[in-house]
Amino acid sequence: MFRIDKRILNFLVIAVVTIITFWWSFFIFHQDMIWEVVAFVLGVRILASIFIFKDYSLSWSKATTRSFLIKTVVYFTAFVVYLPFVYGKVRFALLASEAAFYLLFITFLMYVYSYIINRNTTYKNKTVVIYGAGKAGIKLEEEFRNSEFKVKYFVDDDKILQKRSIDGVKIVSKKELKRLSKKEKTFDLLVIAMPSATTKRVKEIYERLNPYFNTIKILPSLEQILQDESFSTQLKDISVEDLLARHPKDLDKTLIESFIKDKTVLITGAGGSIGSEIARQCVLFNAKQLILLDHSEYNLYAIAEELCEYKPKLVMQSVVNKDFLDKTFEAHKPDIVIHAAAYKHVPLVEENITEAVLNNIIGTKNAIDCAIKHHVQKFVLISTDKAVRPTNVMGTTKRICELYAQNVEPNSTEIVAVRFGNVLGSSGSVIPKFKAQIASGGPITVTHPDITRYFMLIPEACELVLQAASIGKGGEIFILDMGEPIKIVDLAKKMIELSGQNEIEIAFTGLRPGEKLYEELLIDDTEANTQYESITIAGKTSYDIAKLNYDIFELINAKDKLAKLKEIVPEFEHKI
């Protein structure tokens, strides 16, 4: 079938519109048509359309605001070119009037054509409200035009925007939305379109507006959102992590990059929750080379696949074997060592004390000794709030690791420890467990109605670990600000609410061996501030290193390991 090139059609449109606008302009100015002027102007407009931004080839069906701007530039330029040649034959007022009318006419035609071609034929049987009338919200409104959702309202806290509209969609306040919802019952979907919003802000919006919506979704944060992808496809269900994330305000990424950039970084326990995230962060902050060490084949494989384009060196090894570990240090000569390898699951450690002592204490001792021997610049020990006045074996082993890190003779190596609480979503933590229990229909099991824990997102915790390490000079135990402790039963209730399965029950099972009702981050009140509010320093506990080495040797060989642990860490009160 014969088809006319649409670029030729564009020239025909220019000709027809030019004739119409000149006819109208001559008519209202009570003058006869001067065809040589019309022909000359038409020729200039066609040439301008060809040579300026290739206007003649613009697709009208894909017209954007930029397309209208191009039209304006093209035809204003044409006006400036032909004006000196025809002025005198025709009044300036007529020429200016015609040019303005022409520009209005042709852009209007382009808009109408684009609207007709792109008009949505999808039946809209659902309603959506967009919270946030900024760039993200406007982009989402455009994308929802071709979906089953009808955008009913924008909600925005800016009083200047309220009572205005975007493409005919009214912008209202939260208060006004609540009033409107009484008339329209509940809406199908609320989208929180504020990628830069704080967790506190998201939580406030969720709690205030949740009763009025069947579903609430949220755009990812600015760091996570993909600008080249459709925003509507990136919407995710609001999660407990979104409500609990803290986003420290004094995160200093420039400092972290200066610490990591162009360094060879060895990460032990690199396949675990913390180790793998630190590996990702080191990539982001331009480490020269990553050495990923883990004794789990699968965990090491998983993180290696994820970071394969960065070509990390992979070491499948246990930190307990000092000879092998020494060879790894000799081969790769790391500048920085981040020691995340540890057994951390409290009940499992209670049942495997010997293995925990070997892996946690001897593994840490080996890693520190190798770091000192091979003149590593910085050694970072990942510790835990469970090391403070420990009531379980895991916490006590980590406290001994802290003692060794603080009291060993470091030579040129700066050795620091970083202590923090639970991280959201890590392996063995309550959130993955609760999610699995909800998926299976419940009940959710909580050990005690009053039990509380500190929580932080894994990426946030790991960034602060690197920031603390970067300011350490050696011998410090840094404490990360974990915010306020959260009651686990409240966390369980919130996760049930978010799942929409309100029939799921909560069952209390009693405290497990070695489990505290609450965790602490300080052994005593001796702490020092740093230049960052999110990071403080615990007071140093002195311990003769020769005695500590001897005590560790005795611990390995002791039949009653609990008694020896208590001797090394007098504040250890074992709860079983």
Residue 462 sits in a domain of what CATH number? 3.40.50.720
Residue 265 and residue 377 share a domain: yes
Quick check: 261 and 253 in contact, CB under 8 A? Answer: no
Cβ density class 378-402: b for 16+ within 10 Å, e for less: bbbbbbbbbbbbbbbbbbbbbbbbb
Residue 137 and residue 78 share a domain: no
Position 223 confidence tier, pLDDT thresholds 50, 70, 90: low
Residue 112 and residue 95 share a domain: yes
Domain membership flag for residue 83:
yes
* Other CB atoms within 10 Å distance of the CB of residue 158: 12
426 or 311, higher pLDDT:
311
Domain membership flag for residue 451:
no
Residue 554 structural domain = 253-424+456-486+520-568
Average pLDDT over residues 216-224: 74
92, 118, 144 - which closes a domain: 118
Residue 395 and residue 310 share a domain: yes
**Is the pLDDT score of 30 beyond 80?**
yes
pLDDT of res. 1 = 43
118, 152, 175 - which closes a domain: 118
Distance of CA 286 to the CA centre of its chain: 19
pLDDT of res. 411 = 93
Kindly report, residue by residue over 431-464, the tens digit of the pLDDT.
778 888 888 888 889 888 888 876 777 888 888 8
Position 514 confidence tier, pLDDT thresholds 50, 70, 90: low
- Beta bridge partners, 171, equal 154
Out of 169-178, 362-371, 554-563, which region has the weakest mean confidence (pLDDT)?
169-178
133 or 186, higher pLDDT:
133
**Is the pLDDT score of 74 beyond 60?**
yes
**Is the pLDDT score of 527 beyond 80?**
no
Mean pLDDT of all residues in the chain?
A: 85
pLDDT of res. 40 = 94
Where do the DSSP E strands lie in 219-346?
A: 236-237, 264-268, 289-294, 313-316, 336-339
**Is the pLDDT score of 524 beyond 60?**
no
* Residue 54 a catalytic site member: no
Domain membership flag for residue 493:
no
Domain membership flag for residue 1:
no
**Is the pLDDT score of 3 beyond 60?**
no
Query: What CA–CA distance (Å, rounded) separates 269 from 234?
Result: 32
Domain membership flag for residue 11:
yes
pLDDT of res. 425 = 61
Domain membership flag for residue 60:
yes
**Is the pLDDT score of 70 beyond 80?**
yes
Domain count, the chain: 3
Of 365, 386, 494, 516, the catalytic one is 386
Out of 152-156, 204-208, 225-229, 484-488, which region has the weakest mean confidence (pLDDT)?
225-229
Closest CA to 380 of 455, 282, 451, 313: 282
Position 2 confidence tier, pLDDT thresholds 50, 70, 90: very low
118, 142, 175 - which closes a domain: 118
